[in-house]
Homo-oligomer: A and B are copies of this chain.
């Protein structure tokens, strides 16, 4: 596979500022590879990282073909990676390409997203080798900050919507992974996210629970009561009205979800998690087509020296809601705020409450009755001999929605990585892999 070994050896970790040079080096390497295939490349300078004195890596825009009789497809991928170190528990050096006994290729970025990115170049190469014309005009959009919040991308999209990306017919994103290990997936839905902070303020600092326990209004008591009012142990969100606008799941969609061949690991994340639903379709619907509320933790807003019997004076609770079509962020926020404030009044607490929506990203749900999807299905059938699963996923990928909204275009997510690639693995029990079939 062309270039993957060289690409893996460049540790283009975007989140580590002292390694930012490597991301630029990766961009340079990539531009050279692209140009050697006859792709016209422009590097867009995205300026400084917001609030910091460090340059953002360039957005690499490439054009291959300009035949007005062909459709023009924008292909998105990214050339930065997550951090990795052998000491995290990897079996092999993460920034070297290692072929395992089963043929799979390991190394940081093989699956997310250098392998999938290079697939586009391998594909052009294969057409050239076969003496055939690539049947579409391609516009490449390769970024170097995906693992660090895609900084600068949304602005660049807006800027180029009337420029480099003006005449796009559809978008294809090759990131993320298949839902299973045995069948490719097209992703038509992604959940949105609303991230909340609950601050409860009782005292200027912590108190000794021996001296003051029983006499002070304790923020922890309020916090667990508020959090318990949000969701129950069966996963049901208890905020009144929150399910009102949720797009129902059709009988056909439910049937298809039940028929996907999911491994136990795919269902429980490979962590022996306890599933709330025995039925596979219920399970997949719960994690992709319904909203979910997760309580992430309670932190001390004014941490002290860790004495074990303190009454924390100020605390911060964090939770998030994954949203789905057709929920409206403003409306949901109103419901959540009203619910928490009413519950707090009901507690009769003397502490101060503030609830803040600190982060948000809308859901994505694409029309699949479109030539963009039909083409992706047909291509999958030709290469793999199977019809792909078409799924909604639980996670949030803001750029999918950005492409859809800004370019007013149909977007298909066509993952290359398998469900068991663990592309962000931190503990080294599993290694990023990419299915060698697609890279062969």
Contacts and interface: CB of A to CB of B under 8 A. Distances in A.
Interface in A215-274: 215-218, 220-225, 227-228, 231-235, 267-269, 271-274
Contacts of A351: 274
Interface stretch (A16-24, A156-164, A201-209, A381-389): A201-209
B221 A193 contact: no
A310 interface: yes
A198 B305 CA distance: 22
A350 to B, nearest CB: 4
A108 interface: no
A330 interface: no
Interface in A167-211: 191, 193, 195, 202-211
A272 to B, nearest CB: 5
Given A269-B203, A322-B209, A427-B205, A214 B291 contact: yes
A312 interface: yes
A38 interface: no
A298 B203 CA distance: 19
B227 A224 contact: yes
Interface residues of A, number: 79
Quickly give the copy total for this chain: 2
A106 interface: no
A216 B322 CA distance: 14
A129 interface: no
Nearest to A283: B215
22 contacts: A191-B210, A193-B210, A202-B274, A203-B268, A206-B271, A210-B394, A211-B269, A212-B268, A212-B273, A215-B277, A217-B275, A221-B232, A221-B235, A221-B295, A222-B233, A224-B295, A225-B228, A227-B228, A276-B350, A296-B308, A297-B298, A308-B318
